[in-house]
A and B are shown apart, each in its own frame.
Chain A
């Protein structure tokens, strides 16, 4: 069965500093990988996704993520965070065959706090 681990429950970063949120997955075949962000009172918004091809994917709001098969990781990065990036971030995975059925498996989320 597929699973996703986000080791960091809560991360605090200074505004302007760089950010890396970790995500490790467990899945036998090539996975479809996603990062979502949830701001307070808002729905989950897709930041970026990886299906195939270039392992470094660019997303919205200046985020990027790198798929590393050898490490079973899909870490999210941003070179310089803004106060508006404070939110909950979710990594998710599903199989290509299940994508149409939306059987996404989510991590438990990482809450990001930004300090001045």
Chain B
């Protein structure tokens, strides 16, 4: 069965609006979750590491004020794309590490018009 649940699977929004993506670990607690992004015809790239109860760690080149990460509980991390623009259109996917394996959500395809 699924280990990680990610919602929504697809979102279309207008430029300037904010979009929230949820990542939930099912049946286990995750102190750390990971957010990746994939632009068309490019590789999945790690954006940030979400830590429960503390600030997220962002990879170089990722704007922390634009991609807000909240990990308020041991089963939920959210990624909010603030003031989204067309260049933010991408595939976003979260993952959780459990017993040395990475489990991924099903991803969110974001399209900003």
Contacts and interface: CB of A to CB of B under 8 A. Distances in A.
Interface of A: 4, 9, 36, 38, 41-46, 90, 92, 101-109
Chain A CB count within 10 A is highest, among B34, B41, B44, B93, for B44
Nearest to B10: A41
A107 B44 CA distance: 7
A91 B20 CA distance: 28
B15 interface: no
B105 A43 contact: yes
B105 A102 contact: no
B107 to A, nearest CB: 7
Assign chain B's interface to a size class.
Answer: 20 to 34
Interface stretch (B61-69, B82-90, B95-103): B95-103
B106 A42 contact: yes
Given A102-B97, A104-B46, A106-B44, A45 B106 contact: no
Contacts of B41: 9, 108
Q: Shortest 5 CB-CB distances between A and B: which pairs?
A: A43-B104, A44-B104, A106-B44, A106-B43, A43-B106
B105 to A, nearest CB: 5
13 contacts: A4-B43, A36-B104, A38-B107, A43-B95, A43-B104, A43-B105, A44-B104, A45-B104, A102-B49, A102-B102, A104-B102, A106-B43, A106-B45
